[in-house]
Amino acid sequence: MAQLDTGDSGGGKKGGKVRSKKQNSSVDLTAMVDLAFLLITFFMLTTSLSKPQSMDLGMPDKDDKNPQEIKIAQERTMNILIGPDNKVKTYMGQLDSPVEPLKDNKYGREGIRKDIQQKMVSVPQLMGDPKKGLIVLIKAHKESTYKNLVDVLDEMAISKVPVYAIVDITKEETALFDN
């Protein structure tokens, strides 16, 4: 490594001549370069990461005057009820005559995602048409949090559910969380 060498190399006095000291001009820059690169790394990472992520959400056109009735097969619909206190319940089909009965579910890989991914495969097989995939209806209870909603929307994105909608919760479904 380069070093500051200030020791005189001439050694001893010779004839009483005043000699100017030879100074080594090279400075050790290693530490400085280290520091500079550290800062570069920091600024590079923070500039690209500080931009917030976002999630696209498209809602259907709201038309109160002539509401459209869309008929869909009950075998294809999965209902996700988002409840208070991070509770979540799912069922297939209609509430009064469900194709698959209501059950308590939980967020994350082991809970809701497993079910969705299983249905993603089984529904097109059942319908006999690869275009008729799963439809998920998301119904949020009025005491559920925004985080729960985003969690469920995130599950949709992870499992790549082709059709999903945020729907108003019915009274009967709200009552399910009352006990």
Partner 1 sequence: MAKVKMSKKATAIDMTAMCDVAFLLLTFFILTATAKQPEPLPVETPSSTVQVKLPDTDLAIITIGDSGKVFFGVKAPEVRLRTLEAIADEYKISFTEEEKKRFSLMEEFGVPVNQLRTLINLSAAERNQKGLQVGIPHDSLNNQLEKWVKAARNANAEVNEKQLNFAIKGDAKEQYPEIKKIMDILQEQKVNKFNLVTGLRSDNF
Please answer whether residues 136 and 116 qualify as being in contact, where contact means their C-beta atoms are separated by less than 8 angstroms.
yes
How many residues sit close enough to partner 1 to count as binding (CB under 8 A)? 50
State yes or no: residue 128 binds partner 1 (CB under 8 A). no
When the beta carbons of 76 and 119 are compared against partner 1, the nearer one is 119
Helices 146-159, 114-127: axis angle to 10 degrees equals 50
Cβ neighbours around 65 below 10 Å, total: 4
Residue (of 101, 111, 159) closest to 134 by Cα position: 159
The sign of the dihedral angle between the CA atoms of 110, 107, 152, 119 is: positive
State yes or no: residue 85 binds partner 1 (CB under 8 A). no
State yes or no: residue 140 binds partner 1 (CB under 8 A). yes
Matching residue, tokens 């005057």? 65
Task: Determine the Cα–Cα distance for residues 8 and 19; give it in Å rounded to an integer.
Answer: 10
Compute CA 22 distance to the chain's CA centroid, rounded to the nearest angstrom.
63
State yes or no: residue 70 binds partner 1 (CB under 8 A). no
State yes or no: residue 167 binds partner 1 (CB under 8 A). no
**Binds partner 1 (CB under 8 A): choice among 14, 16, 19, 146:** 146
State yes or no: residue 66 binds partner 1 (CB under 8 A). no
- Residue length, the chain? 179
Q: Considering only 48-56, 73-81, 94-102, 118-126, which stretch makes contact with partner 1 by CB under 8 A? A: 48-56
We find the least distance from the C-beta atom of residue 61 to partner 1, in angstroms, to be 6
When the beta carbons of 52 and 101 are compared against partner 1, the nearer one is 52
Interacting residues with partner 1 (CB under 8 A): 1-3, 26, 28-30, 32-33, 36-37, 39-40, 43-44, 46-47, 50-62, 82, 107-109, 140-151, 153-154, 157-158
